[in-house]
Amino acid sequence: MVSRAPLPRLLTALNRRRMKLLLAIALVAYVASVWGNFVNMRSIQENGEQKMENKIEEVIAPLREKIRDLEKSFTQKYPPVKFLSEKDRKRILITGGAGFVGSHLTDKLMMDGHEVTVVDNFFTGRKRNVEHWIGHENFELINHDVVEPLYIEVDQIYHLASPASPPNYMYNPIKTLKTNTIGTLNMLGLAKRVGARLLLASTSEVYGDPEVHPQNEDYWGHVNPIGPRACYDEGKRVAETMCYAYMKQEGVEVRVARIFNTFGPRMHMNDGRVVSNFILQALQGEPLTVYGSGSQTRAFQYVSDLVNGLVALMNSNVSSPVNLGNPEEHTILEFAQMIKNLVGSGSEIQFLSEAQDDPQKRKPDIQKAKLLLGWEPVVPLEEGLNKAIHYFRKELEYQANNQYIPKPKPARIKKGRTRHN
Ligand SMILES: NC(=O)c1ccc[n+]([C@@H]2O[C@H](COP(=O)([O-])OP(=O)(O)OC[C@H]3O[C@@H](n4cnc5c(N)ncnc54)[C@H](O)[C@@H]3O)[C@@H](O)[C@H]2O)c1
């Protein structure tokens, strides 16, 4: 047996311990260095991510701003609308609702809290007239020609679809006839099917060139059935006949408004009637053209008065025709002078030879409307004219900015002189 000396044994033991210690130190150093690297890597990575995020934010921030602006511009602000309970809220159809009168009627009925459907073929009407309602939950706009049947569920129908100014209704007399005859039959058919009440926008032109002055509803009229205006005058006369046939034979509830000359904002630029003609001439510094001596009289109502009258008639129990107009009569010359002064225009008044068939007087008798509807016009002429002047001034500016305004096409019939309608 080999026995070892005590010293070398001690040295060996010491070496072993040192080795172990060294190994332990090396291990700790290794772990510490790995941890350090790891921490370093993370902070580099975090820095990189932060930088990337900052860059992305720089690109996205302006886009986000743009989206916010777009959202703001898309959030349509509607005129205030009353709340009506289910039982009071009506579903109302307005044919020709994108036209001059129809768009003001749309405004009134929408603001009163009803559900309004406008049907229009945009012959003389414009989307611009009702664009402030597009998207509203109570409003619907349908591009439709009333000469074709329409199937919808409604409680009331205001049937206004028809060109109203002579250049427009004489442009295509056959279409004017179809609109007023077939179109009215279609709307009466709809009223019968769904049990709706129908109001026809008839006209003072059913009195023709009147031999009675002022005209009341009992007057049967004096219309030339084959003249250039017959498509409109006779079209409206037969539309009235159809209403009463449907009332008597089918029990349809009808209302007939005989509307006299009306003016106001959203009239056509080339409507061709005396008020818009004079305003545009005065605003553009052109001579105000008066046919004849200017002593012929006319009476004009402001559009908001007419709209109130239409709604009052619709909701009344008066089924016979009712005149709606302003009986305040003025000579053409007075109109020209008044408009010239209100515009502050230096235009001269130019007298041209008298127009053929120009009625000398036109004035409604509105006793029936006063008595049965409690309605009469309230807007003073000057106030209405100022609003119309403001509108036409803005339209001229709009045109000058080269923006697109669809113009009604001119009348095909060029012969014969313009009349003071
Ligand atoms: N403005 C007046 O002074 C006056 C006077 C008497 C009667 N009216 C009657 O009042 C109603 C409205 O007149 P306005 O001055 O607003 O005229 P307008 O020309 O401005 O409006 C008539 C609307 O009917 C639409 N229309 C025409 N034919 C159509 C068809 N076939 N289908 C669908 N839509 C059609 C047009 O595009 C237009 O939007 C008309 O029936 C008119 O005869 C008006």
Give residue 75's pLDDT.
Answer: 65
* Ligand 1 atom showing the smallest separation from residue 161 Cα: 24
- CB of 97 closer than 6 angstroms to any ligand 1 atom: no
- CB of 385 closer than 6 angstroms to any ligand 1 atom: no
Per residue in 220-236, pLDDT (tens digit) is: 999 999 999 999 999 99
**From the CA of 163, how far away is ligand 1's center (Å)?**
4
- Tell whether the model's pLDDT for residue 414 goes beyond 70: no
- Tell whether the model's pLDDT for residue 359 goes beyond 80: no
Report yes or no: 304 and 320 within 8 Å, Cβ to Cβ: no
Question: Residue 32 in 3-state DSSP?
Answer: helix
Rounded CA-CA distance 188/242 in Å is: 8
Average of per-residue pLDDT across 353-357? 72
Give residue 417's pLDDT.
Answer: 46
pTM exceeds 0.85 for this model: no
Give residue 402's pLDDT.
Answer: 67
Give residue 415's pLDDT.
Answer: 47
Per residue in 303-345, pLDDT (tens digit) is: 999 999 999 999 999 999 999 999 999 999 999 999 999 999 9
Rounded CA-CA distance 161/169 in Å is: 12
Give residue 416's pLDDT.
Answer: 45
Catalytic residue among 169, 207, 232, 291: 232
Rounded CA-CA distance 410/269 in Å is: 12
Per residue in 100-156, pLDDT (tens digit) is: 999 999 999 999 999 999 999 999 999 999 999 999 999 999 999 999 999 999 999
- The per-residue pLDDT of the chain, averaged, comes to 90
Give residue 34's pLDDT.
Answer: 80
Give residue 3's pLDDT.
Answer: 47
Ligand 1 pocket, mutate which of 103, 108, 118, 120 (most atoms under 8 A from CB): 120
* Ligand 1 atom showing the smallest separation from residue 204 Cα: 6
- Are β-strands 297-299 and 329-331 bridged in parallel, bridged antiparallel, or unpaired? antiparallel
Half-sphere exposure for 36 (CA within 13 Å, toward CB): 6
**From the CA of 165, how far away is ligand 1's center (Å)?**
8
- Tell whether the model's pLDDT for residue 188 goes beyond 50: yes
Closest C-alpha residue for ligand 1 atom 25: 96
CATH annotation of 91-266+301-327+358-379: 3.40.50.720
**From the CA of 124, how far away is ligand 1's center (Å)?**
7
Active site residue 232: yes
**From the CA of 37, how far away is ligand 1's center (Å)?**
84
Per residue in 64-86, pLDDT (tens digit) is: 887 877 776 666 689 999 999 99
- Tell whether the model's pLDDT for residue 373 goes beyond 60: yes
* Ligand 1 atom showing the smallest separation from residue 97 Cα: 39
